[in-house]
Amino acid sequence: MKSMQTRRPALFSGIREFFFAEQAPYGIALVRMFLPAVALVPMIRRFGRVRELFSTDGAPTQLFELFGQGTPLPILPPSFAVALYGIMIFALICGVFGFRTRLAFLIGAPLYTYFNLLDAVSTMTKYSVITSHVLLILAFSECHLVWSVDAVLKRWKDGRETSAIPPRVPVWPARLIQILFCFVYFGAAITKIQTQAFFSGEQLRYWMLSNWNYANPIGELMATSTPLLLISGYITVVWEISFPFLAWRPIGRYFALGVGMLFHFITWLSLGLWIFPLICLSCYLAFLMERDIVAIRRFVHRLRLPTSLLGLPRFAIARAIEMRPVAIPASMLWLALATLVAIGAAEADYRIDLYGVRSNNGMMPLKTLDREVALAMINNSRPLREKDKFFSFDIGSMLVGGQLANRLTEYGYGDTIIAQCNINPPHEDLWIEVAIEDSKARIFDSSGQFVTRDSLWANFVYQTGSKMAPGDYWMILKSGGKEISRRPFKLTGDPGSLPPMAPMLTN
């Protein structure tokens, strides 16, 4: 009984220490400054499209509609939608500088979530989901106690202008952000494990070759290396699974975060992602402990960098706020400024008049779509060309994870020739043939196989034999009786070097 009584308090004391250990809130303050600033970039760019994306004059598509749950969120008239959008931007900017921080996030976080849910087609993304959760955590944290306008005003009010001792608060908000990312990465790994195309490199290749996000020429170059795709896929899954188990270890934390920074940097280079990596890296700042900030400060002081310049904006804002009449509380000033921003946003939308609502000729008419184009978009009966079903066709001599690891154009006697075709999904069940043709257009060998609709590639393996004379040949891919692609190769060497019973070709 005594052993059980002593173990239970030890267990709960460890959990209590994990969530409620007191530290200076440097990490969560850095998240407060960087995360809303990054999240504001796409939201400010959408300001001119509020009427179209988030109001009754446009065509908002709520996330609930995609799941057949109707439209539970109210859709406001354009002027009210623009006014609320302006308040959201103002609130998040105030959160960055830390002016009435809790009030700013309590208003900005619900509005940010509301507008994202209203436009599930373009505004709602993975990074906006992460941002909504983190903004809610910031609203209930003490992230305003350091490096903020609120902290400067409080220091001036209390007369502690020269105090260098930071306040210490429970660390649970930072822990919640850390746990959020552990679940995000672990869940992503479980999803990838169940996706065969990810481990074969096919999924990564299609992502890198696409320009769905932004141009990514480096990704297009990386997509040509199958071994690189395979290695990257396995490393990503191993890192995502191990992240929750390393993130809080003394040495493992630096490894997990270091690989994470490299991972998100590579996604920017190879996939054209901009905002998502910056959102994740901003949240990584929650993993910084007090001792990390102390070490960084010492390093910066050794470099003699003018870090005092970073505090000028918040001190300037604090001095401007101090100029208000004493009878007006800072919160009332915040609400008054928010009201002015809302009115200004509505007036800006009125003046811009992007859609010509108040022009002399009336609202801009919608352009009539050509009837044939419209019918083709609704019901395109034109069959898909056979060659459009195939992504690539290459020949080599080595497979890694089922994928062709090299590309060769010259072979010797006894070498293995592997022809691989990659097929664009979705596709029906296909009968695919591969033939070998010499320089005089004579067929030496032809073989085929069925490729089911769930397969993304097919391999044809040949062994060069003594009946093939040295010279130039073609490997030809056929489907539906039509030639799709061909690859040249040269056979060199002495046929007599092979055993006399060696077959010409085998598949």
Ranges 203-207, 274-278, 326-330: which has the least confidence: 203-207
40 and 69 both lie in a single domain: yes
For residue 381, is it within any domain?
Answer: no
Q: What phi and psi values does residue 473 have, to the nearest 5 degrees?
A: -135, 165
Which sign does the torsion angle of CA 101, 107, 110, 116 carry? negative
- Check pLDDT > 60 for residue 148: yes
125 and 83 both lie in a single domain: yes
pLDDT digits (tens, 9 = 90+) for 94-119: 999 999 999 999 999 999 999 999 99
DSSP string, 39-104: HHHHHHHTGGGHHHHHBTTS----HHHHTT----S--B-HHHHHHHHHHHHHHHHHHHHTSSHHHH
- Check pLDDT > 80 for residue 1: no
Domains of the chain: total: 3
- Check pLDDT > 60 for residue 4: no
Give the separation between CA 218 and CA 80, rounded to whole angstroms.
43
Percent of the chain residues past pLDDT 70, beyond the cut: 93
Section 334-344 average pLDDT: 95
For residue 354, is it within any domain?
Answer: yes
- State the pLDDT confidence band at 498, using cuts at 50, 70 and 90: low
Q: By C-alpha distance, which of 438, 431, 430 is closest to 464? A: 438
For residue 382, is it within any domain?
Answer: no
- Check pLDDT > 50 for residue 415: yes
361 and 392 both lie in a single domain: no
How is residue 166 written in tokens? 């930071």
Domain harbouring 440, CATH code: 2.60.40.2550
Domain endpoint, select from 257, 288, 319: 288
* Cross-strand bridge partners of residue 435: 446, 476
- Check pLDDT > 60 for residue 5: no
Give the separation between CA 383 and CA 389, rounded to whole angstroms.
11
Q: What integer best gives the mean pLDDT of the chain?
A: 86
54 and 120 both lie in a single domain: yes
Domain endpoint, select from 288, 318, 337: 288
Give the distance from CA 344 to its chain's centroid: 33
Q: Which residue has the higher pLDDT, 379 or 22?
A: 22
Q: What phi and psi values does residue 49 have, to the nearest 5 degrees?
A: -110, 15
For residue 436, is it within any domain?
Answer: yes
30 and 165 both lie in a single domain: yes
Domain endpoint, select from 333, 366, 399: 366
419 and 343 both lie in a single domain: no
151 and 215 both lie in a single domain: no
Section 76-81 average pLDDT: 93
pLDDT digits (tens, 9 = 90+) for 213-259: 777 888 888 887 878 888 888 899 999 999 999 988 888 888 999 99
Give the separation between CA 339 and CA 439, rounded to whole angstroms.
79
Section 61-83 average pLDDT: 92
Give the separation between CA 276 and CA 234, rounded to whole angstroms.
21
322 and 431 both lie in a single domain: no
For residue 383, is it within any domain?
Answer: no
Q: By C-alpha distance, which of 395, 390, 415, 392 is closest to 405? A: 395
131 and 152 both lie in a single domain: yes
pLDDT value at residue 10: 62
- Check pLDDT > 50 for residue 505: no
Ranges 25-29, 35-39, 496-500: which has the least confidence: 496-500
Global confidence as pTM:
0.84
Can you give the residue range of the structural domain that contains 455? Answer: 388-497
* Cross-strand bridge partners of residue 399: 404
193 and 251 both lie in a single domain: yes
For residue 371, is it within any domain?
Answer: no
For residue 295, is it within any domain?
Answer: no
